[in-house]
Amino acid sequence: MRESRFTDNLRADLPASIVVFLVATPLCLGIALASGAPLFAGIIAGIVGGIVVGLASGSALGVSGPAAGLAVIVLEAIGRLGAWDAFLLAVVLAGVLQLALGFLRAGIVAYYFPSSVIKGMLAGIGLTIILKQLPHAVGYDSTPEGVLAFSQGNEENTFSALRQMVAVVEPGALVVTLLALAVLILWDRVVKNSAVSRWVQGPLVAVATGIALNEAFKRFAPALVIQPTHLVELPIAESWSGFLGLFTVPDFSQLTNPAIFTTALTLAVVASLETLLCVEATDRLDPFKRTTSADRELKAQGLGNIVSGLIGGLPITQVIVRSSANIQSGARTKVSAIAHGALLLAAVVAMPRVLNLIPLAALAAILFAVGYKLAKPALFGDMYRLGWSQFAPFVVTVTGILLTDLLVGIGLGVAVAVFFILLTNYRHPYFVENRPYRTGDVIRIQLSEDVSFLNRANIRQTLANVPDGARVEIDATRTVHLDHDVLEIIRDFEQRAKMDGIDLRIVGLPMTRPPDNAMRRVHRALRRLRGRPRPLAAPLPHRSA
């Protein structure tokens, strides 16, 4: 049975790793260029993020590597420190700080971000991906400015590139984009769930189509040939010594420079926050509803940044673009992330010339599909139907990410979510019996009148610690307002209970769908008619804030 499961997982993970590898390759190079770093530094970070972080991480589907959100910080830091090897020392120290945060159990901070903001982050990233791939789709990426617009999270670069690309359209690139998109759409509809689709994914076919088309253009339609500047550009080492020469070690003599520690602290805080948010988002996308330990992830990222800095790589975070591509490609375990790192290493050593045949237009088509799945129009309708307390933070987060950057957008969304919490002025704790658990005991969780997303961390941890085969009762008879975030956590636990043999009983809470505003008003009216429930005679032993 175990061997069969392993084989099934491998059949899903290996094709997914190829897709992630194809998506990560140009991103690693583009982010390195945007950061003012050697191009090979982006490849190093991708390899370390896949292999080192993949082995150490507890995330089943998360993929780590250089992040576009750090590009501006890295660019400014390199200029301020004056040398690339000095900056590498800051990356190593940032990794040490992340390790310390992991051991201090600081990862729980990620659970205090509302789901409306996380979904807004996903949608904002999806729209940003689509916008940033439009220049590549029409062949407007032959200048450094075009590559910077692709890599950075800066609105001015992105939209200025979109304005300029209208006048510079390469017919060959446009043909490749359209045909690659057609392949992706048809592959999903025609070949999906077949034996072929288990090993050959649509994005891989789209890339092969792009290469074949450009080679055909060279022979039959020279006017449509895609220029080398519109293809993947991997550095090529002619010998083993030349390959080793691409690596750089930090300048440890800079340990007395205070600016090194300021840069390290900035990198550690920003990279940790991005990682934790991406971990939360990736867990939400996980079809198996697995939960990643945020503390372990911080330790894994810290180890990855230490290794990356020691051998000349960019700083690393978990990246939602690669993680979502990994999930959408059908990955099941972290073997996919590790294999994608191994593929990056093998490709840069063995076949850089083959990879340099891939048109960026074909990769743009793949990312169009990824971006669309993250920002489907139906998502906006679903969030609107949940009410303004969910829709407003969602829209503000999306808008903030598009007009500024990832962290500013998230900050604005959280501020709006907190405003709605303060506006309702309802935040009460939940209660759970605190006594030694014995087999056969019923674990009772009493939800209070009003449960907000600020309670989700404790509720999530409590449910995650429930042993397989246990008996659990969640009592919501006193609950007047249950935040959508907490309702989603309970729904996820209900799915887990079915798989893990947990005897779950939920009282006073409809689990098929969240009641709409009209139903909530009816429920509240009925409670008022019955009279408010009397308070407990004595407080339960354990109270969580």
Position 499, amino acid? M
Cβ atoms 184, 203 nearer than 8 A: yes
Residue type, position 129, single letter = I
Is residue 220 located within the same domain as residue 135? yes
Q: Which element (helix H / strand E) includes 481? A: strand 481-482
- d(Cα 68, Cα 23) in Å, to the nearest integer? 14
End of a domain among 348, 368, 388?
A: 368
% of the chain residues with pLDDT over 90: 28
User: Which pLDDT score, from 0 to 100, does residue 512 have?
Assistant: 44
pLDDT tens-digit profile of 140-181? 754 434 434 444 444 444 555 556 666 677 888 899 999 999
Query: Rounded CA gap, 106 and 229, in Å?
Result: 44
Give yes or no: residues 236 and 356 share one domain: yes
Beta-carbon contacts of 364 under 8 Å, excluding residues fewer than 6 positions away, are 133, 134, 136, 137, 177
Identify which of 204-213, 420-429, 439-448 has the greatest average pLDDT.
204-213
Residue 516 has pLDDT above 60, yes or no: no
Mean pLDDT of 293-303: 95
Which positions ≥6 away from 534 have C-beta within 8 Å? none
Query: Can you list the positions of beta strands (E) in 242-388?
Result: 317-318
User: What's the pLDDT band for 537 if we cut at 50, 70, 90?
Assistant: very low
Domain boundary among 313, 337, 368: 368
Give the pLDDT score at 307: 97
d(CA 494, CA 513): 13
User: Are 359 and 435 in the same domain?
Assistant: no
Round to whole Å and give the CA distance between 77 and 86.
Answer: 10
**Residue 216, pLDDT above cutoff 90:** yes
Most confident of 21-25, 230-234, 285-289, 533-537: 285-289
Specify the pLDDT at position 380. Answer: 93
Can you tell me the distance from the alpha carbon of 205 to that of 342, in angstroms, rounded to the nearest whole number? 21
Pair 347, 243 in one domain: yes
Q: In 3D, which of 67, 532, 54, 11 has the Cα closest to residue 321?
A: 67
Dump pLDDT digits (tens) for 262-279.
999 989 988 998 899 889
In a domain? residue 247? yes
Phi/psi of residue 65, nearest 5 degrees:
170, -170
Calculate the dihedral angle through the C-alpha atoms of 245, 248, 249, 255, rounding to the nearest 10 degrees.
150
Split into its structural domains, the chain has a count of 2
Residue 421, domain member (yes or no): no
Question: Mean pLDDT throughout 229-253?
Answer: 81
- CA–CA separation, 25 and 263 (whole Å): 27
> Residue 437's domain spans which residues?
431-543
Domain match, 452 and 350 both? no
pLDDT exceeds cutoff 60 at 9: yes
pLDDT of residue 434: 62
**Residue 364 and residue 436 share a domain:** no
Give the residue-averaged pLDDT of 88-96: 97
Contacts of 375 (CB under 8 A, 6+ apart): 122, 123, 124, 126, 127, 130, 398
If asked whether residues 14 and 140 sit together in one domain, one would say: yes
CATH number at residue 469: 3.30.750.24
Q: Per the domain annotation, does 374 fall within a domain? A: no
Mean pLDDT for the stretch of residues 402-414 = 83
Dihedrals phi, psi of 543, to nearest 5 degrees: -130, 130
Query: Would you say residue 386 lies in a domain?
Result: no
Give start and end residues of each alpha helix (H) in 351-387.
352-355, 360-374, 377-385
Same domain, 346 and 444: no
Who has greater pLDDT, 403 or 166? 403
Closest CA to 154 of 139, 132, 134: 132
Q: Are residues 466 and 347 in the same domain?
A: no
Same-domain status, 340 and 477: no
How does DSSP classify residue 359?
B
Asked if residue 527 lies in contact with residue 480, where contact means CB atoms within 8 angstroms, the answer is: yes
pLDDT of 533 above 50: no
**Residue 344's pLDDT band (cuts 50, 70, 90):** very high
Q: What span, in angstroms and rounded, lies between the C-alpha atoms of 290 and 474?
A: 21
Residue 184 has pLDDT above 90, yes or no: no
Q: What whole-number percentage of the chain has pLDDT above 70?
A: 81
pLDDT at residue 195, rounded to an integer: 60
pLDDT at 488: 87
Domain for residue 238, yes or no?
Answer: yes
Mean pLDDT score, 381-396: 92
Compute and round to an integer the Cα radius of gyration of the chain.
25
pLDDT confidence band for 527 (50 / 70 / 90): low
The edge-to-edge listing of strands for the beta sheet with 542-543 is 503-507, 471-475, 442-446, 431-432, 542-543
Per-residue pLDDT at 177: 92
pLDDT computed for residue 303 by the predictor: 97
Cα atoms in the 13 Å half-sphere on the side-chain side of 190: 8
Inform me whether the pLDDT recorded for 358 exceeds 50. yes
* Residue where a domain terminates, one of 342, 368, 394: 368
Per-residue pLDDT, 544: 41
| Secondary structure (3-state) at 438 | coil
Residue 258's alpha-carbon distances to 35, 77, 94, 264, 529, in angstroms, are 22, 13, 14, 10, 66
Look at residue 425 and give its three-state secondary structure: coil
Kindly state whether residue 46 falls inside one of the protein's structural domains: yes
In this structure, the answer to whether residues 348 and 447 fall within a common structural domain is no
Q: How confident is the model at residue 75 (pLDDT cuts 50, 70, 90)?
A: confident
Mean pLDDT for the chain?
A: 81
Q: Is the pLDDT of residue 246 over 80?
A: no
Strand partners, 317: 65
